[in-house]
Amino acid sequence: MSSEDDRSSERASHQGTGHTSHDRSGKASDPGLGTYVRFGLMILTSSVVMYIVMYLNTYSIDHVFWSWTRFFMTMMSAATMTVVMLTFMLGMYRNRMVNAVIVVGAVVVFGAGLALVRTQATVGDVAWMRAMIPHHSIAILTSERAHLEDPRVRELADSIIEAQRKEIEEMKAYIKELE
C-alpha cells in the first residue's frame, strides 16, 4: 500500500474519534463532526444525571415529582457546563463556526432557563405542587437529620417537619383532585 493510501486510511480511522487527522499535506486538520455529536451527547447525559441528582436530598421517594423549576435550573447548569467544557477542550474542538454556534446556543438556553425560572410562566396549579413537594421534603430531611442542640432551634425544626408533612399530604390530595 502506498504512503498516500496509508494517510487516507489513517484519516478515515480517526474521523469523528476526537483524534487529530492529517490532510494530504501532512498538516493537522479538524476532527470530524462526530466529536461534536459526542460532546452533545455528553452534555445531554450529564444534564439528565444533574436533574436526577437534584432529587437525592428529598426525604422520601414518594416526594419525587417532575419539577419544571428543576428542569429550568438544569437548563441553566447545562448551558454553563457546555461553555466551560468547550473552553477547556478547545484543542479537541477546533471548528470556530461550530464552537460559536454552540456558545450562542448555550447563551440562549441559559437565558431561556433563567427567564422561565424567574417568571414561573409555565407553572400552573399542579406543576407548582409537584415542584413544592420535593422542596418541602428537603426541609423535612434537613430539619430531621441536622444535629441541633439548642432546644429552641430543635422546636423550630420539629414544627417545620410537622407543617411540611401536613402540606405535602394536602398537595398530594389536591393533585389527585385536579388531575
Question: How confident is the model at residue 2, as a pLDDT?
Answer: 52
Question: Residue 4's pLDDT is what?
Answer: 52
62-106 pLDDT, tens digit per residue, is: 999 999 999 999 999 999 999 999 999 998 898 999 999 999 999
Instruction: Name the burial class of residue 163, with classes exposed (0-12), middle (13-18) and buried (19+) by CB atoms within 10 angstroms of its CB.
Output: middle
Residue 11's pLDDT band, with cuts at 50, 70 and 90, is very low
* Range 153-159 average pLDDT: 98
d(CA 89, CA 97): 15
Phi then psi dihedrals of residue 57, to 5 deg: -100, 15
Average pLDDT along the chain = 87
Give yes or no for residue 58 having a pLDDT over 70: yes
The model's confidence at residue 170, banded by pLDDT at 50, 70 and 90, is very high
| pLDDT one-digit tens code per residue, 94-150 | 899 999 999 999 999 999 999 999 999 999 999 999 999 999 999 999 999 999 999
Question: What sections of 26-124 are H helices per DSSP?
Answer: 34-53, 68-88, 96-119
Q: Is 97 buried (19+), middle (13-18) or exposed (0-12) by CB count in 10 A?
A: exposed
pLDDT for residue 27 is more than 60: no
Residue 154 has pLDDT above 60, yes or no: yes
Q: What proportion of the chain, given as a percentage, has pLDDT over 70?
A: 83
Query: Which amino acid belongs to residue 173?
Result: A
**Cα 129 from Cα 30, distance rounded (Å):** 49
Q: Residue 85: which of 106, 64, 55 has the closest Cα? A: 106
Q: What CA–CA distance (Å, rounded) separates 90 from 152?
A: 54
Report the candidate in 70, 73, 62, 56 with the shortest Cα–Cα distance to residue 171: 62
> In this predicted structure, what is the pLDDT of residue 31?
58
Q: How confident is the model at residue 7 (pLDDT cuts 50, 70, 90)?
A: very low
